[in-house]
A and B are shown apart, each in its own frame.
Chain A
């Protein structure tokens, strides 16, 4: 008996692990039943988890010096150089109206493919994991949720907001 339950019987951790296994099995069934599976990149702002569709992500880079740019909306913190490419960085905290924090070791810039080859960077507090989600895991955002959230996905008892990056990057009047 070397199962997970054998080591930490009845603890909270053991329970969530069983829970996770059960969910994984359910998901596998759903996938086998032909349900569409999506991949999301999960990241956080403070302790709050968010996710975006993985297809839109080109790469994830560590925080680096950001050169400020004048005459742009405040959400754009500046530009970075990515191997010679110059890319604007949107500070997601500012975009969502959250208080600013100093960049830490875990701060990352998620580099997104653009619609027409235009690349953008989005600064977040940390990147956590890639989520595999089936359609039935997703539900519409509750009323009153931010306009940038396109759906909610339940994960290990927590709700992860799936963001619509197109809306996040639409700074209007540019």
Chain B
């Protein structure tokens, strides 16, 4: 049992590392393709990943994997130090290694597959070794060209020295920048300065500087390379020019690739040099070691554990409701009124604390969409090449957070939609040109929060959806009948039917048989809804609206006959008291005049075949999913409750219109309505089953 758990954690950690490595390799590949030198930051990142992989697989006794990682580490170290240069062969070796390890990780329990993979690892290692032994570029010592004090030169690590040479060879200016910092806050000051330097060039090393500074201050010298001259550097860094010492004068040249790469540097990247302290300066600090340390202040948690925690919190919330009831009962009896009032006070504070606890647990489950978007942009890069199309992918709102479980299940449908956009929506360059569009197509993914929902939109400026063709196909398939009046929106909605496609031909990229109908059902399974907008020849926008979390929700409790139901509050727009006489009938449908707009009504008693009571007045719960609205008629509104949705177990696997159930204290189980299914059925005029 614990072995399983450890292995799960191992696999998930290795997958994370491989994910990062794939990313880095793809970024390196872009550079190599463009003829640029490998970005040292990326090589460092890869080196760190290989190092972690080695340690991790060694710890779990996967020796073959550990050995391969060790070889990779050697190769990357060589690249870092300039002992070898990166070429396409080298890159493809990395690619193979990552693929091999990821297939091995997937089959840890399969002994045969494992020994097969281990054999492949052995062959791959031989090739890695052969590649390393190949011709390497040696750079002669150019220390003499650099006007640096011997003490400084001695303090540089081998890697820093290599970076110094590289920059000198590239003809950049090298400066030693002195700066004073308050002792109490020098770490922040130093890292701010390093960041500023990142944007202008490359910080090579940070060294403590002896003496000269006032008591409460400490002075550091930063060795840096840049294409800027002294004056503009001083201005940009906001440092007096006399504190910048030119130690090597490069050739005057326009801003080079390093600068471009530098501006792309992400804040999350760990710069080991920032962590050097005066107590631990110079050669002793191994960059890879300090960066590994910084990872360890996060804790990996199995999402199932968070579910358990969430369940516990949910049960506490239910218990709290019972306490309130007791307090209320006590408070109404004169004899116990005082105890009751006190209990109520305690209850209120418990309620607040519970709300905080709930919010904290929820917060832990939240992850930014960035990881999904990164995955998609990687696939998009490959698609561009495979399809021979020029497409720009813009991503916005990658910091928007969603429940980890939702994010996980979002990858497939979202990927499908983006592939469709690349493959079918964006025209070939020639076709775009003849339509007077820019040759480069654009696909935009945008995520943002709206109330308790997160909306993800994928838009493209491609050929749009031809409503006539969709209608034609729907007629062929008998989904609509000749002469049936359909609004443009209803026609577009047909795209979500199986067998109706947004495209003419089937290609390898988007696959066969999986269409928008699958996307819609995947999203619906997450409690979300998909809508589509399009104008032929101009654009298509697909919007997915998802709840932020599935773990807990605010629910509106409604009653019909002797039964109760819970409705997720995030899809309730408003509630209205309705006099039955206000309800208008037209064409077999019931409508309500809602501020001048007709609102389609459905009676829950009829939907679910429940004996209604003679209630007289009814209540309409206005449900909204995306832009769709519908009024659900119920007999009673019984207030709001926090509810933890649970799946319904048993022989009947799915009930249309029911998303799950929740336990409400002594009332036992209460069914939670599946609002998107109810709204969808109402709008399509589907009758209750």
Interface of A toward B, CB cutoff 8 Å? 64-65, 67-73, 76, 79-81, 84-90, 114, 118-121, 169-171, 174
Ordered by A's residue number, 10 sampled pairs between the chains whose C-beta atoms are within 8 Å are A67-B669, A71-B655, A71-B658, A72-B652, A73-B652, A86-B646, A86-B661, A86-B669, A88-B650, A114-B649
Complex: A171 Cα to B652 Cα, angstroms? 7
Select B658's contact among A64, A70, A169, beta carbons within 8 Å.
A70
Which of A71, A79, A170 sits near B661, CB closer than 8 Å? A79
Are A76 and B608 also in contact (CB < 8 A) when A68-B563, A69-B671, A84-B315 are? no
Q: How far is the CA of A59 from the CA of B120 in the complex (A)?
A: 50
A118 touches B650 (CB 8 A): yes
Task: Name the distance in Å between A121's Cβ and chain B's nearest Cβ.
Answer: 7
Question: CA separation between A84 and B317, bound complex, in Å?
Answer: 12
CA gap between A144 and B525 in the complex, in Å: 44
Are the CB atoms of A79 and B657 closer together than 8 Å?
no
B669 touches A71 (CB 8 A): no
- Whether B653 and A81, one on each chain, are in contact in the complex, defined by CB atoms closer than 8 angstroms, is no
Residue of A with least CB distance to B609: A70
A81 CA to B649 CA in the complex, in Å? 10
Chain B residues within an 8 Å CB radius of A88: 648-652
In contact, B649 and A119 (Cβ under 8 angstroms): yes
Residues of B within 8 A of A73 (CB): 652
B contact residues around A121 at 8 Å (CB): 650
CA distance A111 to B651 in the complex (A): 12
Chain A residues within an 8 Å CB radius of B247: none
A121 vs B311: C-alpha distance when bound (angstroms): 22
Residues of A within 8 A of B652 (CB): 69, 72-73, 76, 88, 171, 174
Is A174 in contact with B661, judged by CB distance below 8 angstroms?
no
Q: A76 contacts which of B609, B647, B650, B668 (Cβ < 8 Å)?
A: B650
Q: Which 10 A-B pairs have the closest CB atoms?
A: A88-B650, A70-B608, A86-B661, A81-B669, A81-B663, A169-B651, A67-B669, A174-B652, A65-B668, A120-B650
Tell me whether B651 and A120 are in contact (CB under 8 A).
yes
* Shortest beta-carbon distance from B565 to chain A in Å: 10
Among B315, B608, B644, B649: residue with most chain A CB under 10 A:
B649
> What distance in Å separates the Cβ of B552 from its nearest Cβ neighbour in chain A?
13
Alpha-carbon distance between A88 and B650 when the two chains are bound, in angstroms: 5
- A residues less than 8 Å from B649 (CB atoms): 85-88, 114, 118-120
Tell me which residues across on chain B come within 8 A of A80, comparing CB atoms: 668-669
CA distance A84 to B316 in the complex (A): 11
Given contacts A70-B657, A79-B661, contact A119 B314 (CB under 8 A): no
B660, CB-defined interface residue at 8 Å: yes
Minimum CB distance partner of A79 in chain B: B669
B670 close to A76 (CB less than 8 A): no
Query: Shortest beta-carbon distance, B660 to chain A, in Å?
Result: 7
Measured CA separation A169–B649 after assembly (Å)? 12
Q: Kindly identify which residue among A70, A84, A89 contacts B311, using a CB–CB cutoff of 8 Å.
A: A84
What is the CA–CA distance of A81 and B609 in the complex, to the nearest angstrom? 23
Residues of A within 8 A of B311 (CB): 84
CB distance from B117 to the nearest CB of A (A): 30
Across-interface contacts of B267 in A (CB, < 8 A):
none
Once the chains bind, are B668 and A81 in contact (CB under 8 Å)? yes
In this assembly, does B607 line the interface, its C-beta being within 8 Å of a C-beta of chain A? yes
